[in-house]
């Protein structure tokens, strides 16, 4: 099913207009850069400082879970490795495919931002969805990698947010 979806996207969605847009969007998610920058920006506001710390902590936990533990354990090759004549629009990633780190970090940050402020969170979820879609568009992740990254990201961040809120209530 993964290849059916990826190949359908390649046949019906990819085009010269979207190519540079998807490359730009995917690079926003490189190393969770956009999310780290937004989280650091929160540190400079008194109202959201604790949320910035939580977002950075959640991103670190997600990196450890996804990139340090799960990817080396599962060792799933990337989709382009199965298609020898595939020309990628970005440099081929060298780590494993499952789960999508771009997606996981995006949904971690979006979930923390949603707990912090619903409007900001909804905007973050839109960007997270675009970054996730770009990974499919660029043929560097399977749909199941992206779906799993989103689920893991939301669950991890949701759990940390609930712990954070419980901790904040005890401090009052």
Rounded Cα distance, 146 and 92, in Å? 17
Look up residue 105 and give its two tokens. 């970090």
Is 150 in contact with 141 (CB distance < 8 Å)?
no
Select from 21, 13, 17, 25 the least CA-distant residue to 129: 25
Rounded Cα distance, 38 and 96, in Å? 27
Question: Considering 27, 31, 63, 102, which one is annotated as catalytic?
Answer: 102
89 secondary structure, DSSP code:
S
- 141 catalytically annotated: yes
Is 111 in contact with 154 (CB distance < 8 Å)?
yes
Question: Considering 12, 31, 63, 141, which one is annotated as catalytic?
Answer: 141
Is 57 in contact with 160 (CB distance < 8 Å)?
yes
Residues annotated as catalytic (active site), given as ranges: 102, 141
């Amino acid at each position: 099913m993964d290849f059916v979806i990826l190949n359908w996207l390649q046949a019906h969605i990819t085009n010269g207009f979207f190519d540079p847009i998807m490359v730009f969007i995917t690079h926003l998610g490189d190393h969770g850069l956009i999310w780290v920058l937004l989280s650091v920006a929160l540190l400079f506001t008194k109202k959201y400082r604790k949320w910035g710390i939580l977002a950075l902590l959640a991103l670190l936990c997600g990196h450890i879970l996804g990139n340090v533990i799960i990817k080396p354990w599962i060792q799933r090759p990337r989709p382009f490795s199965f298609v020898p004549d595939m020309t990628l629009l970005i440099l081929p990633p060298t780590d494993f495919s499952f789960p999508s780190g771009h997606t996981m970090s995006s949904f971690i940050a979006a979930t923390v931002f949603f707990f912090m402020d619903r409007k900001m969170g909804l905007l973050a979820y839109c960007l997270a969805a675009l970054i996730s879609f770009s990974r499919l568009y660029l043929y560097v992740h399977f749909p199941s990698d992206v779906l799993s990254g989103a689920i893991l990201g939301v669950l991890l961040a949701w759990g940390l947010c609930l712990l954070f809120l419980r901790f904040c209530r005890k401090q009052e």
